[in-house]
Amino acid sequence: MLKNIPFVDLKLQHQPLKTELKKAVQAVLEKGDFILGQAVEEFESSFAKACGVEHAIGVGCGTDAIELGLQACGVGVGDEVILPANTFIATLIGVIHVGATPVLVDCHPETALIDLEAAQKAVTKKTKAILPVHLYGQMVAPSELKDFAQTNNLIIFEDAAQAHLARREGYRAGSIGIAAAFSFYPSKNLGCFGDGGIVITNNSEVANKMRTLRNYGSPKKYEHVEAGTNSRLDTIQAAILNVKLPYLEDWNRDRNQAAQKYDTLLSPMKEKGIIPIQNFSDSGHIYHLYVIRVTDKAPINQDTLKEKLTSAGISVGIHYPIPCHLQPAYQNLGYKQGDFPNSEILSQQILSLPMYPVISEDQINQVAEVITQIINK
Protein backbone atom coordinates (compact mmCIF):
# COMPACT_ATOMS: atom_id res chain seq x y z
CA MET A 1 0.00 0.00 0.00
CA LEU A 2 1.25 3.46 -0.87
CA LYS A 3 1.22 5.95 1.96
CA ASN A 4 -0.71 9.20 1.83
CA ILE A 5 1.36 12.25 0.98
CA PRO A 6 0.53 15.41 2.92
CA PHE A 7 0.67 18.89 1.38
CA VAL A 8 3.15 20.00 4.06
CA ASP A 9 4.63 18.07 6.97
CA LEU A 10 5.57 20.43 9.79
CA LYS A 11 5.62 17.67 12.39
CA LEU A 12 8.36 15.79 10.58
CA GLN A 13 10.28 19.00 9.87
CA HIS A 14 10.22 20.02 13.56
CA GLN A 15 11.07 16.56 14.89
CA PRO A 16 14.88 17.03 14.99
CA LEU A 17 14.47 20.47 16.63
CA LYS A 18 12.22 19.34 19.46
CA THR A 19 14.77 19.67 22.27
CA GLU A 20 16.01 23.05 21.06
CA LEU A 21 12.46 24.34 20.67
CA LYS A 22 11.40 23.21 24.12
CA LYS A 23 14.44 24.87 25.66
CA ALA A 24 13.74 28.14 23.87
CA VAL A 25 10.10 28.22 25.00
CA GLN A 26 11.09 27.24 28.54
CA ALA A 27 13.55 30.12 28.67
CA VAL A 28 10.79 32.59 27.85
CA LEU A 29 8.55 31.09 30.54
CA GLU A 30 11.29 31.55 33.10
CA LYS A 31 12.23 35.03 32.06
CA GLY A 32 8.60 36.14 31.71
CA ASP A 33 9.34 38.90 29.20
CA PHE A 34 6.35 37.96 27.06
CA ILE A 35 5.87 41.30 25.28
CA LEU A 36 8.77 42.73 23.23
CA GLY A 37 11.22 40.61 25.18
CA GLN A 38 14.82 39.71 24.53
CA ALA A 39 14.06 36.99 21.97
CA VAL A 40 12.18 39.53 19.82
CA GLU A 41 15.19 41.85 19.69
CA GLU A 42 17.48 38.94 18.94
CA PHE A 43 15.29 37.65 16.16
CA GLU A 44 14.80 41.09 14.61
CA SER A 45 18.51 41.57 14.47
CA SER A 46 19.28 38.11 13.00
CA PHE A 47 16.45 38.26 10.48
CA ALA A 48 17.54 41.73 9.27
CA LYS A 49 21.07 40.44 8.89
CA ALA A 50 19.91 37.33 6.99
CA CYS A 51 17.95 39.55 4.59
CA GLY A 52 20.86 41.94 4.17
CA VAL A 53 19.08 45.00 5.60
CA GLU A 54 19.54 47.30 8.60
CA HIS A 55 16.26 46.98 10.46
CA ALA A 56 13.52 44.46 11.17
CA ILE A 57 10.41 45.14 13.27
CA GLY A 58 8.33 42.18 14.42
CA VAL A 59 4.54 42.44 14.27
CA GLY A 60 1.49 40.28 14.95
CA CYS A 61 1.07 38.78 11.46
CA GLY A 62 1.93 39.29 7.80
CA THR A 63 -1.27 41.19 7.09
CA ASP A 64 -0.36 43.74 9.80
CA ALA A 65 3.17 43.90 8.38
CA ILE A 66 1.70 45.08 5.06
CA GLU A 67 -0.71 47.56 6.62
CA LEU A 68 1.68 49.06 9.18
CA GLY A 69 4.63 48.90 6.78
CA LEU A 70 2.73 50.94 4.21
CA GLN A 71 1.65 53.38 6.94
CA ALA A 72 5.25 53.77 8.10
CA CYS A 73 6.23 54.55 4.49
CA GLY A 74 3.69 57.36 4.40
CA VAL A 75 1.07 55.60 2.28
CA GLY A 76 -2.53 56.36 3.23
CA VAL A 77 -5.83 57.96 2.26
CA GLY A 78 -5.82 59.40 -1.27
CA ASP A 79 -2.86 57.29 -2.42
CA GLU A 80 -3.18 54.57 -5.04
CA VAL A 81 -1.22 51.37 -4.60
CA ILE A 82 -0.69 48.96 -7.52
CA LEU A 83 -0.79 45.25 -6.68
CA PRO A 84 -1.43 41.98 -8.55
CA ALA A 85 -4.95 40.53 -8.78
CA ASN A 86 -3.63 36.99 -8.24
CA THR A 87 -2.30 37.12 -4.71
CA PHE A 88 -3.39 35.95 -1.29
CA ILE A 89 -6.15 38.26 -0.07
CA ALA A 90 -3.93 39.64 2.73
CA THR A 91 -2.00 41.79 0.24
CA LEU A 92 -5.24 43.56 -0.65
CA ILE A 93 -6.41 43.74 2.98
CA GLY A 94 -3.20 45.53 3.99
CA VAL A 95 -3.72 48.21 1.35
CA ILE A 96 -7.40 48.71 2.20
CA HIS A 97 -6.75 48.87 5.96
CA VAL A 98 -4.16 51.61 5.59
CA GLY A 99 -6.82 53.66 3.81
CA ALA A 100 -5.16 53.68 0.40
CA THR A 101 -6.90 52.82 -2.87
CA PRO A 102 -5.92 49.43 -4.27
CA VAL A 103 -5.36 49.28 -8.03
CA LEU A 104 -5.23 45.69 -9.22
CA VAL A 105 -3.32 44.57 -12.31
CA ASP A 106 -2.91 41.31 -14.20
CA CYS A 107 -0.01 38.85 -14.10
CA HIS A 108 2.21 37.06 -16.61
CA PRO A 109 0.56 33.82 -17.71
CA GLU A 110 3.74 31.72 -17.34
CA THR A 111 5.30 33.07 -14.12
CA ALA A 112 2.12 34.23 -12.36
CA LEU A 113 4.11 37.31 -11.27
CA ILE A 114 2.83 40.88 -11.64
CA ASP A 115 2.87 42.18 -15.22
CA LEU A 116 4.75 45.49 -15.13
CA GLU A 117 3.43 46.51 -18.55
CA ALA A 118 -0.07 46.21 -17.18
CA ALA A 119 1.11 48.09 -14.09
CA GLN A 120 2.43 50.91 -16.30
CA LYS A 121 -1.03 51.37 -17.80
CA ALA A 122 -2.50 51.57 -14.31
CA VAL A 123 -0.31 54.46 -13.12
CA THR A 124 -2.10 57.76 -12.43
CA LYS A 125 -1.14 61.02 -10.73
CA LYS A 126 -2.30 59.49 -7.47
CA THR A 127 -0.16 56.36 -7.62
CA LYS A 128 2.19 56.32 -4.67
CA ALA A 129 3.49 52.76 -4.49
CA ILE A 130 3.82 49.44 -6.21
CA LEU A 131 3.30 46.36 -4.05
CA PRO A 132 4.87 43.41 -5.88
CA VAL A 133 4.26 39.93 -4.49
CA HIS A 134 7.10 37.42 -4.78
CA LEU A 135 4.55 34.70 -5.43
CA TYR A 136 5.26 31.03 -4.70
CA GLY A 137 8.83 31.95 -3.64
CA GLN A 138 9.99 33.50 -6.89
CA MET A 139 10.97 37.17 -6.87
CA VAL A 140 9.70 39.74 -9.33
CA ALA A 141 12.81 40.86 -11.28
CA PRO A 142 14.48 43.59 -9.15
CA SER A 143 15.96 45.46 -12.14
CA GLU A 144 12.57 45.74 -13.85
CA LEU A 145 10.86 46.75 -10.63
CA LYS A 146 13.40 49.44 -9.91
CA ASP A 147 13.16 50.84 -13.46
CA PHE A 148 9.39 50.89 -13.20
CA ALA A 149 9.41 52.64 -9.83
CA GLN A 150 12.00 55.17 -10.91
CA THR A 151 10.24 56.02 -14.18
CA ASN A 152 6.99 56.64 -12.35
CA ASN A 153 8.43 58.10 -9.16
CA LEU A 154 6.88 55.42 -6.93
CA ILE A 155 8.01 53.61 -3.83
CA ILE A 156 8.36 49.82 -3.86
CA PHE A 157 6.91 47.94 -0.91
CA GLU A 158 7.44 44.18 -1.28
CA ASP A 159 5.08 41.46 -0.12
CA ALA A 160 7.73 38.84 0.65
CA ALA A 161 5.43 36.58 2.70
CA GLN A 162 6.24 33.65 0.41
CA ALA A 163 9.87 34.50 -0.22
CA HIS A 164 12.02 34.36 2.94
CA LEU A 165 15.65 34.57 1.72
CA ALA A 166 14.74 34.18 -1.95
CA ARG A 167 17.30 35.73 -4.30
CA ARG A 168 17.29 37.20 -7.77
CA GLU A 169 19.88 39.31 -9.61
CA GLY A 170 21.91 39.53 -6.42
CA TYR A 171 19.03 40.91 -4.34
CA ARG A 172 17.42 39.24 -1.35
CA ALA A 173 13.64 39.37 -1.18
CA GLY A 174 12.66 42.43 0.81
CA SER A 175 15.75 44.48 -0.01
CA ILE A 176 14.67 45.95 -3.35
CA GLY A 177 12.39 48.73 -2.18
CA ILE A 178 11.92 51.06 0.77
CA ALA A 179 10.50 48.28 2.96
CA ALA A 180 8.96 44.81 2.83
CA ALA A 181 6.56 42.57 4.73
CA PHE A 182 7.00 38.92 5.73
CA SER A 183 4.66 36.46 7.42
CA PHE A 184 5.60 33.67 9.83
CA TYR A 185 2.33 31.79 9.45
CA PRO A 186 3.25 28.19 10.39
CA SER A 187 3.43 26.79 6.85
CA LYS A 188 5.52 29.60 5.34
CA ASN A 189 9.16 28.77 4.56
CA LEU A 190 9.95 30.25 7.96
CA GLY A 191 6.97 29.82 10.28
CA CYS A 192 6.30 30.12 13.99
CA PHE A 193 3.74 28.28 16.16
CA GLY A 194 0.93 30.72 15.60
CA ASP A 195 0.71 34.09 13.88
CA GLY A 196 3.68 36.37 13.35
CA GLY A 197 5.08 38.85 10.85
CA ILE A 198 7.86 41.37 10.31
CA VAL A 199 8.71 44.50 8.34
CA ILE A 200 12.26 44.97 7.11
CA THR A 201 13.85 48.19 5.85
CA ASN A 202 17.13 50.04 5.39
CA ASN A 203 15.41 53.32 6.19
CA SER A 204 15.82 54.27 9.85
CA GLU A 205 12.89 56.71 9.78
CA VAL A 206 10.57 53.95 8.54
CA ALA A 207 12.01 51.60 11.18
CA ASN A 208 11.44 54.06 14.01
CA LYS A 209 7.92 54.78 12.85
CA MET A 210 7.21 51.05 12.64
CA ARG A 211 8.38 50.50 16.22
CA THR A 212 6.01 53.22 17.35
CA LEU A 213 3.06 52.11 15.20
CA ARG A 214 3.07 48.51 16.41
CA ASN A 215 3.14 49.64 20.04
CA TYR A 216 0.02 51.85 20.33
CA GLY A 217 1.79 54.65 18.43
CA SER A 218 3.82 55.19 21.54
CA PRO A 219 7.60 55.68 21.62
CA LYS A 220 7.37 56.32 25.37
CA LYS A 221 4.86 54.87 27.79
CA TYR A 222 1.50 56.71 27.70
CA GLU A 223 2.71 59.23 25.13
CA HIS A 224 1.15 58.61 21.72
CA VAL A 225 2.69 60.41 18.80
CA GLU A 226 1.31 58.27 15.95
CA ALA A 227 -2.12 56.77 15.29
CA GLY A 228 -0.86 53.27 15.94
CA THR A 229 -2.21 49.94 17.08
CA ASN A 230 -1.25 46.84 19.07
CA SER A 231 0.54 44.39 16.79
CA ARG A 232 3.75 42.86 18.12
CA LEU A 233 5.58 39.63 17.45
CA ASP A 234 5.18 37.59 20.67
CA THR A 235 8.40 36.84 22.54
CA ILE A 236 7.52 33.15 22.58
CA GLN A 237 7.09 33.13 18.78
CA ALA A 238 10.38 35.00 18.35
CA ALA A 239 12.10 32.39 20.52
CA ILE A 240 10.81 29.66 18.20
CA LEU A 241 11.90 31.62 15.14
CA ASN A 242 15.37 32.06 16.66
CA VAL A 243 15.68 28.28 16.75
CA LYS A 244 14.41 27.81 13.20
CA LEU A 245 16.17 30.66 11.34
CA PRO A 246 19.62 28.96 11.18
CA TYR A 247 18.02 26.07 9.24
CA LEU A 248 16.17 28.22 6.73
CA GLU A 249 18.82 28.27 3.98
CA ASP A 250 19.07 24.47 4.11
CA TRP A 251 15.30 24.06 4.04
CA ASN A 252 15.05 26.42 1.06
CA ARG A 253 17.78 24.47 -0.72
CA ASP A 254 15.92 21.21 -0.06
CA ARG A 255 12.72 22.70 -1.48
CA ASN A 256 14.64 23.86 -4.56
CA GLN A 257 16.02 20.37 -5.06
CA ALA A 258 12.58 18.82 -4.64
CA ALA A 259 11.30 21.25 -7.28
CA GLN A 260 14.06 20.26 -9.67
CA LYS A 261 13.08 16.62 -9.24
CA TYR A 262 9.46 17.45 -9.99
CA ASP A 263 10.61 19.43 -13.04
CA THR A 264 12.60 16.50 -14.40
CA LEU A 265 9.99 13.83 -13.68
CA LEU A 266 7.12 15.90 -15.04
CA SER A 267 8.88 17.23 -18.14
CA PRO A 268 7.40 14.52 -20.43
CA MET A 269 3.96 15.82 -19.37
CA LYS A 270 4.59 19.19 -21.03
CA GLU A 271 3.43 17.98 -24.41
CA LYS A 272 0.27 16.78 -22.70
CA GLY A 273 -0.41 20.27 -21.39
CA ILE A 274 0.89 19.95 -17.82
CA ILE A 275 3.31 22.84 -17.41
CA PRO A 276 5.06 24.04 -14.25
CA ILE A 277 5.04 27.75 -13.45
CA GLN A 278 8.16 29.12 -15.12
CA ASN A 279 11.21 29.66 -12.95
CA PHE A 280 13.37 32.60 -14.00
CA SER A 281 15.28 32.98 -10.80
CA ASP A 282 17.12 29.67 -11.03
CA SER A 283 18.53 28.65 -7.67
CA GLY A 284 17.16 31.80 -6.00
CA HIS A 285 13.59 30.47 -6.12
CA ILE A 286 12.65 29.13 -2.67
CA TYR A 287 9.55 27.22 -3.74
CA HIS A 288 7.12 28.14 -1.02
CA LEU A 289 4.79 26.33 -3.41
CA TYR A 290 5.42 24.09 -6.41
CA VAL A 291 2.69 24.94 -8.88
CA ILE A 292 1.76 23.31 -12.17
CA ARG A 293 -0.71 24.50 -14.77
CA VAL A 294 -3.32 22.13 -16.18
CA THR A 295 -3.64 23.90 -19.53
CA ASP A 296 -6.29 23.55 -22.26
CA LYS A 297 -4.01 21.04 -24.00
CA ALA A 298 -4.30 18.60 -21.09
CA PRO A 299 -6.76 15.69 -21.42
CA ILE A 300 -8.42 16.64 -18.10
CA ASN A 301 -9.02 19.87 -16.20
CA GLN A 302 -7.78 21.24 -12.88
CA ASP A 303 -10.78 19.98 -10.90
CA THR A 304 -10.55 16.43 -12.20
CA LEU A 305 -6.79 16.18 -11.66
CA LYS A 306 -7.24 17.54 -8.14
CA GLU A 307 -9.98 15.04 -7.42
CA LYS A 308 -7.98 12.10 -8.78
CA LEU A 309 -4.84 13.05 -6.85
CA THR A 310 -6.85 13.47 -3.67
CA SER A 311 -8.42 10.04 -4.03
CA ALA A 312 -4.93 8.62 -4.63
CA GLY A 313 -3.97 9.99 -1.19
CA ILE A 314 -1.99 12.97 -2.49
CA SER A 315 -2.92 16.32 -0.94
CA VAL A 316 -2.84 19.27 -3.31
CA GLY A 317 -3.95 22.89 -3.18
CA ILE A 318 -4.99 25.79 -5.41
CA HIS A 319 -3.28 29.10 -4.77
CA TYR A 320 -5.62 30.77 -5.40
CA PRO A 321 -8.97 29.57 -6.78
CA ILE A 322 -10.57 33.04 -6.90
CA PRO A 323 -8.55 36.12 -7.87
CA CYS A 324 -8.90 39.12 -5.53
CA HIS A 325 -11.05 41.15 -7.93
CA LEU A 326 -13.74 38.45 -8.03
CA GLN A 327 -13.96 37.93 -4.25
CA PRO A 328 -17.46 38.71 -2.96
CA ALA A 329 -16.18 40.95 -0.16
CA TYR A 330 -14.49 43.35 -2.59
CA GLN A 331 -17.16 43.88 -5.23
CA ASN A 332 -17.29 47.51 -4.10
CA LEU A 333 -13.92 48.03 -5.82
CA GLY A 334 -15.84 47.85 -9.09
CA TYR A 335 -13.98 45.10 -10.89
CA LYS A 336 -15.68 42.41 -12.94
CA GLN A 337 -15.08 39.08 -14.63
CA GLY A 338 -12.82 39.58 -17.65
CA ASP A 339 -10.81 42.47 -16.16
CA PHE A 340 -7.68 40.35 -15.56
CA PRO A 341 -7.81 37.43 -18.00
CA ASN A 342 -4.42 35.91 -17.15
CA SER A 343 -5.22 35.80 -13.44
CA GLU A 344 -8.66 34.36 -14.16
CA ILE A 345 -7.31 31.64 -16.48
CA LEU A 346 -4.53 30.77 -14.03
CA SER A 347 -7.01 30.37 -11.19
CA GLN A 348 -8.75 27.69 -13.29
CA GLN A 349 -5.50 25.92 -14.20
CA ILE A 350 -3.11 25.94 -11.25
CA LEU A 351 -2.47 23.09 -8.86
CA SER A 352 0.07 23.17 -6.00
CA LEU A 353 1.78 19.82 -5.39
CA PRO A 354 3.09 18.57 -2.03
CA MET A 355 6.17 20.67 -1.17
CA TYR A 356 8.17 20.87 2.04
CA PRO A 357 11.85 20.58 2.96
CA VAL A 358 11.69 17.01 4.26
CA ILE A 359 9.70 15.57 1.35
CA SER A 360 11.42 12.36 0.28
CA GLU A 361 12.56 11.28 -3.15
CA ASP A 362 10.07 8.40 -2.97
CA GLN A 363 7.23 10.77 -2.26
CA ILE A 364 8.15 12.99 -5.21
CA ASN A 365 8.42 9.92 -7.44
CA GLN A 366 5.03 8.76 -6.28
CA VAL A 367 3.37 12.13 -6.99
CA ALA A 368 4.95 12.34 -10.45
CA GLU A 369 4.04 8.74 -11.24
CA VAL A 370 0.41 9.15 -10.26
CA ILE A 371 0.13 12.34 -12.33
CA THR A 372 1.73 10.59 -15.31
CA GLN A 373 -0.67 7.65 -15.01
CA ILE A 374 -3.71 9.92 -14.76
CA ILE A 375 -2.66 12.02 -17.74
CA ASN A 376 -1.64 9.09 -19.95
CA LYS A 377 -4.80 7.12 -19.31
Ligand X SMILES: *Cc1c(COP(=O)(O)O)cnc(C)c1O
- Min dist CB 206 to ligand X, Å, is 19
- Min dist CB 65 to ligand X, Å, is 7
Stretch that binds ligand X, among 98-106, 140-148, 157-165, 355-363 (CB under 6 A): 157-165
Residues 158-187 that bind ligand X (CB under 6 A): 159, 161-162, 183, 185
Query: 118 vs 152, 160, 182, CA distance in Å?
Result: 13, 21, 25
**Measured distance CA(67)–CA(102) in Å, rounded:** 12
Q: 214 or 272: whose CB is closer to ligand X?
A: 214
Residues 192-221 that bind ligand X (CB under 6 A): 195, 197
Q: 114 or 326: whose CB is closer to ligand X?
A: 114
Stretch that binds ligand X, among 56-64, 112-120, 211-219, 222-230 (CB under 6 A): 56-64
**Measured distance CA(65)–CA(188) in Å, rounded:** 15
| Burial profile 347-362: b = 16 or more Cβ within 10 angstroms, e = fewer | bebbbbbbbbbbbeee
Among 123, 133, 206, 309, binds ligand X (CB under 6 A): 133
Among 13, 87, 138, 235, binds ligand X (CB under 6 A): 87
- Min dist CB 84 to ligand X, Å, is 9
Residues 160, 137 contacting (CB under 8 angstroms): no
- Min dist CB 325 to ligand X, Å, is 16
Identity of the amino acid at 26: Q
- Min dist CB 11 to ligand X, Å, is 20
**Measured distance CA(44)–CA(47) in Å, rounded:** 5
| Burial profile 169-181: b = 16 or more Cβ within 10 angstroms, e = fewer | eebbbbbbbbbbb
Tell me the three-class secondary structure of 54-88, residue by residue. CEEEEECCHHHHHHHHHHHCCCCCCCEEEEECCCC
Residues 59-78 that bind ligand X (CB under 6 A): 61-63
- Min dist CB 301 to ligand X, Å, is 25
Beta bridge partners of 82: 103, 130
Binding site for ligand X (CB under 6 A): 61-63, 87-88, 90-91, 133, 159, 161-162, 183, 185, 195, 197
